[in-house]
Amino acid sequence: MRIFLQTYSFGMVMEVDGFVICCTKKPINMKKFILLAFVSISALVSQGQSTGSSYQTALGLKFWPGGITIKHFVAPNRALEGIAYFWSHGFRFTGLYEIHGDINGAPGLKWYVGPGAHIGAYNEVWYRGNHVYSSGDVSFGIDGVLGLDYKINGAPINLSLDFQPSLDILSDPYFSGWGGLAIRYTF
């Protein structure tokens, strides 16, 4: 696949394998252009991707607190998921081992549960109760996950909704929970 991006005095042109994908008459915000390019390329390559009600690997975004997620099935009902969270106080990497099960009468919908672990660092001062986390402090702990996973039949899209409790065991141990909605591109 050849991707060609060119700016002209009248705007920008993106071409993929000889097909003009977008053409603007005036300069646009690069974030919007990149999003448009991603959606356009995804539509072009989706014909060869996982379009049934199951998938092997998926890459996308997780909302709340916000991160990048990749999930890969290592067996028909077992998956590994990696999540890189970026939030106002630092970052956190989480690894999960998930056991999936079908929900009868709902093709493409599965429940999942599993253990995991996380490590992260704070990039600014953060207060939790009477404890102060300073810039450079490290976070490490154990995680769990409980959720629903849905593969849209006929499209290379996967959605999941989950709750992820965690126990931070360094510095000042505390229990917390977060989770959210993930939207992934399957392949």
Mean pLDDT of 49-53: 62
Whether the CB-CB separation of 72 and 54 falls below 8 Å is answered with: no
Assigned token pair, 144: 């769990």
Q: What is the reported pLDDT for 15?
A: 56
Whether the CB-CB separation of 144 and 114 falls below 8 Å is answered with: yes
Q: What is the reported pLDDT for 48?
A: 43
The highest-confidence range among 3-12, 62-71, 138-147, by mean pLDDT, is: 138-147
As its CATH architecture, domain 57-186 has Beta Barrel (2.40)
Sign of torsion over alpha carbons 12, 14, 19, 24: negative
Closest CA to 161 of 143, 151, 149, 144: 149
Instruction: Write the pLDDT tens digit of every residue in 145-154.
Output: 999 999 999 9
> Over 50: is that where the pLDDT of 128 sits?
yes
* Per-domain residue ranges of the chain: 3-48, 57-186
Q: What is the reported pLDDT for 3?
A: 53
